[in-house]
Each structure stands twice: as C-alpha cells, then as structure tokens.
C-alpha cells in the first residue's frame, strides 16, 4: 500500500448532471455523469459515472441506477457519501496521515441544512477541511472575471437541474434568483412531447440527445431534424420517427422566457453602481445548457445586453474551484 504524510487537496463540482474533480497540481482529473449503479439492497456501488449512465433505461430489478443529486441538492446522504468516497480514492490512492482539504461548489440557493448535508458527506468521506463555494462565484473565477474586485458581474448558470442568475462583486453574491429547472426538465418535456403527440415512448438518454443535437431557438435551424428510436405506444413495437427542431419549440420557449424573467428579477434588485458595470460588460453565461442552440442569442436579444459564453461552460465552476483551492487567500479576502 501507498503511504504518505499529506493527501492531495482537491475541488469538486457536485452537479445534477456532471461531477467534475480538480486535483491540486494535476488540474481537472475527472468529468463524470452524476450516476451510481447500486445492488438490489442499495448498499454496494457497482458502477459510477459514464459506465453507469450507459445503463440508463436498461437495468433490471436486481440493480438500481440513481442520481444522488437532484436540482443541485443532495437527495440521499449515504449515496452522496459513496460518490465522494469514490472520488476521494481516485484522487488519493493509498493511506495518508493528513486528510485532504476539499473545495465543493454548491448552488447559491442552497439552504443551510442542505449545505450542512454536503459538508457532512465530505467530512464522513474523509476530508479534514471543507470549503463550500457558491457555484456562480466559482464560475466567475473560472471565467476570469475578477469576482474579488469591486466590480459587478451578472452570471447566469444554466445547468442540468438548476438555473440561476447571480450578481457578484467582492467575493460575495449581491443578489440572486434560482429556479429548480434546467436541462433535465427540458429532456422531460421532450419525452412528454413524443408520448403525447407521437405515441412514442423514448428513453431519457434519447431525449437528452434530441435536446443537444436539434432543439434550437434559431429561426434558421427550424428544419433541422433527427431520427428518433422508441417504442410505439399503440402497437408496442420498436419504431423510428423523424422530428424537426420547429415542432419541438414548445419544449424550450416557455423555459427560455422563464430564464429571461429570472434575470429581470435579479436586475431589479441590483444597486445602480453595479447595474452600470453590467450594462458595460453584459451577461456571462455558464453551465452546460448554455450550449443549447440559439439560447444565448435569445437571452441577449430579449435583455438588450451583450452575452458572453465560455468555450467549455460545463467546466467554468470547477476551474474556478481549482483557482480557489490554489489561492485560498484571494478567496477569503472580504469574506466573513
Ligand atoms: N450541446 C448541448 N446543448 C444543450 N444542452 C446541453 C448540451 N451539452 C450539454 N447540455 C446539457 O447541460 C446540462 C448539464 O450541464 P452542467 O454540467 O452545467 O450541469 P450540472 O452542473 O451537472 O447541474 P446543476 O448545476 O444544475 O446541478 C445537461 O442537461 C446537458 O444535457
Ligand atoms: Mg452546475
């Protein structure tokens, strides 16, 4: 067995859809879907991440596939601990005398009880010190926006389970608003559309693939189409149908408008000095759902503000959590 004095410190973005891990000195070492495959008693973890997600919709009653994080918060303390344990071992194989410090990204809208549950799960899994960071603040570090400066930035994080708008300055969240809906919700609307309008039952992975490959708010994409496999609800036989982006607009338009309303609400509560920073710099979008075709342009048009999206919006928060792990002094400055 491997013995060492100090375990490596690391950061985790515990998302509804993806879990990313940053290891001090090595950078991002894991990017896995937030899925666990369990035995029939829910006691043993059989698979995790990518290999577990591939089994979605294909399991039997002796194995269970679960997502331990729903809408950004822990649904099951023991499962989350198992998940954290898995990543602790991945980062630190062998035995260490001094356990690691861990930075964990959490949604700004999290309650004290939920934050405590995340902290407890990390302590149980073996960390010596846990630093919880607002996901939007971490993303602002990841996007290099200088969130520790006296300058307001509006960050809109559109993830798998949560959508959130936060105004950030001097390492703090000045005002924010979140809704418990994100990419998973759009996937479920796509599933409903196929069932109700086309009598076709489709799996969750298929719905996600439809969202990511054809769903669009751009007029020029309206004829974009995809062949979708599912089960015909009338004949019970496998069936393939072709669908266009245009026919699925009802799955995205109301959500896009809710996001715009959420941003307006946050701007209404923003102090004037910070409003002028936002007018000058525009909105920063992060989170995987930001990649949905035409969504950033739609938000920019409706808000009358410029919008910037990073190249890899799924990784902004973990990059920022890594910066905080490497420079804790920069992060604690101005914090209580
Ligand atoms: N090209 C794409 N188009 C549309 N959506 C996409 C695309 N790529 C990924 N997504 C969606 O982004 C979402 C995942 O984003 P992200 O990893 O930021 O979420 P998360 O951090 O795990 O969740 P949360 O922060 O809400 O807890 C999923 O719904 C996924 O389907
Ligand atoms: Mg996230």
Domain boundaries, given as residue ranges, for the chain: 3-138+318-332, 152-180+254-313, 183-251
DSSP symbols for 32-62: EES-EEEETTS-SEEEETHHHHTTTT---TT
Instruction: Among 13, 217, 289, 291, say which to mutate for ligand 1: greatest number of ligand atoms within 8 Å of CB.
Output: 289
Query: Among 114-128, 169-183, 191-205, which is the least confidently predicted range?
Result: 114-128
Q: Is 212 in the pocket of ligand 1 (CB under 6 A)?
A: yes
Give burial (CB, 10 Å; 0-12/13-18/19+) of 325: buried
- Same topology, domains 3-138+318-332 and 152-180+254-313? Answer is yes
Whole-angstrom CA distances from 52 to 13, 55, 318, 320 are 19, 5, 22, 27
Could you say which architecture CATH assigns to the domain 183-251?
A: Alpha-Beta Complex (3.90)
Which atom of ligand 1 is least distant from the CA of 69? 27
pLDDT value at residue 237: 97
pLDDT value at residue 47: 87
Mean pLDDT, all residues of the chain: 91
What is the Rg, in whole angstroms, of the alpha carbon atoms belonging to the chain?
A: 21
pLDDT value at residue 333: 67
8 A C-beta contact, residue 151 and residue 162: no
Ligand in closest contact with the CA of 251: 1
Q: Is 142 in the pocket of ligand 1 (CB under 6 A)?
A: no
Show the beta-strand stretches assigned E in 80-216. 95-98, 101-106, 129-134, 153-158, 163-169, 172-179, 200-201
Q: Is 15 in the pocket of ligand 1 (CB under 6 A)?
A: yes
Which atom of ligand 1 is least distant from the CA of 313? 18
pLDDT value at residue 249: 97
Q: Is 267 in the pocket of ligand 1 (CB under 6 A)?
A: no
Q: In the chain, pLDDT over 70 holds for what percent of residues? A: 95
Question: What is the per-residue pLDDT across 82-126, written as a single tens digit (0 to 9) for each?
Answer: 778 888 887 776 666 667 889 999 877 778 888 888 888 888 878
pLDDT value at residue 314: 97
The residue whose CA is least distant from atom 5 of ligand 1 is 289
8 A C-beta contact, residue 98 and residue 6: yes
Query: Among 27-31, 104-108, 146-150, 291-295, which is the least confidently predicted range?
Result: 104-108
**Which CATH superfamily, name and number, covers 152-180+254-313?**
ATPase, nucleotide binding domain (3.30.420.40)
* Alpha carbons 91 and 25: distance in angstroms, whole number: 11
Question: What is the per-residue pLDDT across 133-167, written as a single tens digit (0 to 9) for each?
Answer: 999 999 999 999 999 999 999 999 999 999 999 99
Nearest to 244 by CA among 197, 188, 310: 197
Q: Pairing between strand 153-158 and 283-286?
A: parallel
- Phi then psi dihedrals of residue 330, to 5 deg: -65, -35
Could you say which architecture CATH assigns to the domain 3-138+318-332?
A: 2-Layer Sandwich (3.30)
* Alpha carbons 226 and 259: distance in angstroms, whole number: 26
């Amino acid at each position: 067995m491997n013995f060492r004095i100090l375990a490596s410190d690391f950061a985790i973005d515990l998302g509804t859809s993806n879990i990313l891990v940053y290891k001090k000195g090595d950078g991002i070492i894991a990017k896995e879907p937030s899925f666990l495959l369990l035995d029939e008693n829910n006691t043993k973890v059989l698979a995790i991440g990518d290999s577990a997600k591939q089994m979605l919709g294909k399991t039997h009653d002796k194995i269970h596939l679960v997502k331990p994080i729903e809408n950004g918060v822990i649904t099951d303390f023991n499962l989350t601990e198992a998940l954290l344990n898995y990543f602790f071992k991945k980062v630190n194989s062998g035995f260490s005398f001094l356990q690691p410090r861990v930075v964990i990204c959490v949604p700004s809208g999290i309650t004290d009880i939920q934050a405590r549950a995340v902290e407890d799960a990390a302590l149980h899994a073996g960390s010596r010190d846990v630093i919880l960071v607002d996901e939007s603040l971490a993303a602002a570090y990841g996007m290099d926006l200088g969130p520790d400066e006296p300058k307001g930035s509006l960050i809109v994080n559109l993830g798998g389970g949560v959508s959130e708008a936060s105004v950030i300055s001097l390492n703090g969240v000045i005002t924010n608003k979140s809704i418990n809906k994100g990419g998973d919700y759009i996937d479920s609307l796509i599933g409903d559309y196929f069932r109700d309008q086309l009598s076709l039952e489709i799996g969750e992975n298929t719905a996600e693939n439809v969202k990511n490959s054809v769903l669009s708010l751009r007029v020029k994409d309206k004829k974009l189409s995809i062949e979708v496999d599912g089960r015909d609800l009338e004949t019970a036989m496998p069936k393939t149908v072709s669908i266009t982006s245009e026919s699925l607009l009802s799955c995205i338009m109301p959500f896009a408008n809710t996001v715009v309303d959420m941003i307006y609400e946050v701007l209404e509560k923003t102090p004037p000095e910070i409003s002028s920073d936002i007018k000058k710099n525009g909105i920063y979008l992060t989170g995987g759902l930001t990649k949905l075709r035409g969504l950033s342009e739609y938000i920019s048009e409706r808000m009358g503000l410029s919008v910037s999206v990073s190249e890899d919006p799924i990784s902004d928060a973990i990059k920022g959590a890594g910066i905080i792990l490497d420079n804790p002094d920069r992060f604690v400055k101005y914090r209580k």
